[in-house]
Amino acid sequence: MTPTGKKRRGELIVLSGPSGVGKSTVIAELLSSRRDIYFSVSFTTRQPRTGEADGVNYNFVSRQEFQRMIADGELLEFAEFVGNYYGTSLKVIREQLERGIDVLLDIDVQGAAKVKERCAEAVTIFLIPPSLEELSRRLHSRNTDNEEVIEQRLQRAREECRESTHYDYLVVNETVVSAAGTILSILEAEQCRTPKRLYFIDGIVGGKNGQE
């Protein structure tokens, strides 16, 4: 709630970065500091990895079910990534934003571009690895994909880094704590943007947006 009693709309935050860059770990760190952020659990047709739970990491669905969701217009955006579908539920996101809750999306560059198109005020952040060698090392140490899939993910990472110049912010993931800290600072600065603070001026000088 703002000082003038108007309900604040939630912030839509989009975080992208190449597979293996450490997004999930940075997100976990971020959410432990900002427990008020709602993390949007995506829908995917990919198989769960060891340790992943349905409804927690992803909502795992069949290709048929995913295609039904596309046809029924249930997705804010979706993309095909290394042979699997990934998508974001429109209904859930809309409900949270309207309740004034900030929503975090972990989506790829295709999805981020679609979100920005539909919602220009979304804050887009791209997490980059310190180097491609480091990314390759992280993908190998994860031990979840075979060499062919790792090569595809590295190839996709090169393409994604090329497209990252469209994002509002680029954050290097040197360490989890520093990357999460930088993202928190970005979110704080975003809250201080003049259009979002005009109600303070209203409170001081009266009138709408500080104008007599």
Choosing from 11, 14, 45, 88, the residue that interacts with ligand 5GP (CB under 6 A) is: 88
DSSP-assigned states of every residue in 68-113: HHHHTT-EEEEEEETTEEEEEEHHHHHHHHHTT--EEEE--HHHHH
Nearer to ligand 5GP, 19 or 182 (CB): 19
Residue 109 Cβ vs ligand 5GP, minimum distance, rounded to whole Å: 8
Does 46 interact with ligand 5GP (rule: CB under 6 A)? yes
Task: Evaluate whether 158 touches 132 at the Cβ level (below 8 Å).
Answer: yes
Residue owning tokens 């859930």: 92
Residue owning tokens 């201080």: 192
Residue 106 Cβ vs ligand 5GP, minimum distance, rounded to whole Å: 5
- For residue 25, give the nearest of 132, 173, 186, 200 by alpha carbon: 173
Does 77 interact with ligand 5GP (rule: CB under 6 A)? yes
Does 150 interact with ligand 5GP (rule: CB under 6 A)? no
In this chain, which residue has its C-beta nearest to ligand 5GP? 111
Nearer to ligand 5GP, 102 or 202 (CB): 102
Residue 75 Cβ vs ligand 5GP, minimum distance, rounded to whole Å: 8
- Cα–Cα distance, 68 to 85 (Å, whole number): 12
Give just the sign of the alpha carbon dihedral 146, 149, 155, 160: negative
Does 111 interact with ligand 5GP (rule: CB under 6 A)? yes
Does 106 interact with ligand 5GP (rule: CB under 6 A)? yes
Binding region for ligand 5GP (CB under 6 A): 16, 19, 42, 46, 77-79, 81, 86-88, 106-108, 110-111
